[in-house]
Structure 1
Amino acid sequence: MELLLLEGVTRTIELPDAPPLTILSGVDLAVDAGDRISIVGRSGSGKSTLLNLLGLLDSPSSGRLVFDGQDVASLSSGQRDRLRGRDVGFIFQQFNLLEGRTALENVMTPLLYASGRQFWRRREIASAMLDRVGLSHRLTAMPHKLSGGEQQRVAIARSLVREPRVILADEPTGALDVETGGTVMQLLDEVARSSGAALVTITHDLAIAELASRHFRLDHGVLTPVSVHAAEGLIAVSGPAAGPATDAGEAS
């Protein structure tokens, strides 16, 4: 059984004095435990909207969104919040760290909403996760004292501290230099792989996209399987109806 399943999912926004705006059109996507998926697409293609749906932050206008066998439409808002807090980890380009909190306190934050062992041992668990990402020596550092790569590693530790089953990374290396970005993605992949979590990365960087085992392009709200060739800067449609490759400009 798929961990996450989207069937014919659409997302439409009603606009005043204008026709409805369709952002996603009939999206089908199955995500299994341990999957490595990348999604590329130009700005305005609907990538962030799709990420919000996958992360249970938003609901489809039509179609089905199923998480671990449960149709999300049948859940109350409180049930969705608990499911998201327990099983989904988010990593964002801008890190979104709490400025007035240390690295340790930032990573502890999700555990404040946990229960039982995770809540009572939150400091120990957060410390162990920071050690896992190579920051055991920076527990008391404030975000402004950390480098970009260190901030991103804190953000990764925070997203993984509750051992989510799905990790959603939105342009996770966009604010980093190439070398640091590669190191961060390697780290993210290693930590996710060791926990068996599915990793879905939204990116315009073909080198980052190519690291995944399955690749998709979102264009005008339509999700299509593709193959990515970063060295040539090309994206090619996959499957029997595959057409000619397109250049990387379509992924920006």
Structure 2
Amino acid sequence: MSLLELRDVTRTVIPPDQPALTILNGVDLTVEPGDRISIVGRSGSGKSTLLNLLGLLDMPTSGLLTFDDRPVKSYSGAARDRVRGAQIGFVFQQFNLLPGRTALENVAMPLLYAEGRSFWRRKQLAAEMLQEVGLGDRMESMPDRLSGGEQQRVAIARSLVRGPRLILADEPTGALDLDTGSSVMQLIDEVATRTGAALVTITHDPAIAARARDHFRLDRGVLTRADSDELAAASEAIS
């Protein structure tokens, strides 16, 4: 059973006083549990739009999008929100931490929307997740007292604290230096491996993309599989 699947998916928008604009065109992609997938593409290629579809934030204009082999169009908006909150974790380039909250409070935030034991144990779960990412001694620190790499680790802990089955990483190392970015990606991969989550990384960095097992290129809304040489060429063109 596929975790997430797109079949001949298109996404079209209609700007004010302009003709319809097709951003994604005939996209096919299957994400299985435990997959490691990278997608590279230049600015304007449709990466953000694709990420929104993978994260169930948007719906395709046409084609089939399924989660757990169930068409996403059959979910209500509230059901999509519940699936996204419980089963999909997002790691962004910008850390988006709440400035007036400690690292522990930031990580516990998603668990305010959990149910049962996860809700009542939210501080313990958040503390365990911070230990997992190597910040057990920084739980009471405010974001402005953390380095960029530490802030990204808090953001990763927050995205993973509910045990998502799918992790979507959008340029997760874009705001970090090379060494810190490499260690952050290793951390994401290690946690995903331990939990059995699938990891889809959208990046322009060939070194980051190469960490995945399956590589794709997105160009003018068309997604194609890329081998190592094509990936390097695409990444060089993007940079």
Segments of structure 1 that go 5 or more residues without pairing to the other structure are 229-233, 237-244
What TM-score, normalized by structure 1, do the two folds share? 0.93
The answer to whether the 8 A contact 2:217-2:234 is kept is no
In the alignment, which residue of structure 1 is the partner of 2:186?
Answer: 186
In the alignment, which residue of structure 2 is the partner of 1:239?
Answer: none
Q: Which amino acid aligns with 2:169?
A: A
The answer to whether the 8 A contact 1:107-1:155 is kept is yes
Task: Provide the C-alpha distance between the structure 2 equivalents of 1:16 and 1:102, rounded to a whole number of angstroms.
Answer: 42
1:172 aligns with 2:159: no
**Paired residues for 1:235-246 under 5 Å:** 235=230, 246=233
Count how many residue pairs are aligned between Structure 1 and Structure 2.
Answer: 239
1:141 aligns with 2:141: yes
Displacement after TM superposition at 1:65 (Å)? 0.6
In the alignment, which residue of structure 2 is the partner of 1:241?
Answer: none
In the alignment, which residue of structure 2 is the partner of 1:23?
Answer: 23
**Paired residues for 1:191-202 under 5 Å:** 191-202=191-202
**Paired residues for 1:53-202 under 5 Å:** 53-202=53-202
The answer to whether the 8 A contact 1:2-1:31 is kept is yes
2:227 alignment partner, SS class: strand
2:100 alignment partner, SS class: coil
Task: Provide the C-alpha distance between the structure 1 equivalents of 2:159 and 2:132, rounded to a whole number of angstroms.
Answer: 13
1:138 alignment partner, SS class: coil
In the alignment, which residue of structure 1 is the partner of 2:222?
Answer: 222
1:251 aligns with 2:201: no
2:65 alignment partner, SS class: strand
Greater Cα shift, 16-25 or 198-207: 16-25
The answer to whether the 8 A contact 2:41-2:234 is kept is no
Q: Which amino acid aligns with 1:197?
A: A
Displacement after TM superposition at 1:16 (Å)? 2.5
Task: Provide the C-alpha distance between the structure 2 equivalents of 1:193 and 1:204, rounded to a whole number of angstroms.
Answer: 23
Q: Which amino acid aligns with 2:238?
A: A
Aligned residues: CA RMSD: 1.1
Displacement after TM superposition at 1:249 (Å)? 3.3
**Paired residues for 1:20-59 under 5 Å:** 20-59=20-59
In the alignment, which residue of structure 2 is the partner of 1:2?
Answer: 2
Higher relative contact order (CA 8 A, sep 6+): 2
1:19 alignment partner, SS class: coil
Task: Provide the C-alpha distance between the structure 2 equivalents of 1:161 and 1:247, rounded to a whole number of angstroms.
Answer: 34
1:17 alignment partner, SS class: coil
Segments of structure 2 that go 5 or more residues without pairing to the other structure are none
Task: Provide the C-alpha distance between the structure 1 equivalents of 2:75 and 2:234, rounded to a whole number of angstroms.
Answer: 42
The answer to whether the 8 A contact 1:6-1:30 is kept is yes
In the alignment, which residue of structure 2 is the partner of 1:13?
Answer: 13
Displacement after TM superposition at 1:247 (Å)? 5.2
The answer to whether the 8 A contact 1:41-1:250 is kept is no
Displacement after TM superposition at 1:70 (Å)? 1.2
Encode CA deviations 1:175-207: one digit per residue, 9 max, x unaligned.
Answer: 000000000000100001000000000000000
Task: Provide the C-alpha distance between the structure 2 equivalents of 1:108 and 1:70, rounded to a whole number of angstroms.
Answer: 30
Displacement after TM superposition at 1:250 (Å)? 3.0
The answer to whether the 8 A contact 1:102-1:143 is kept is yes
% identical equivalent positions:
67
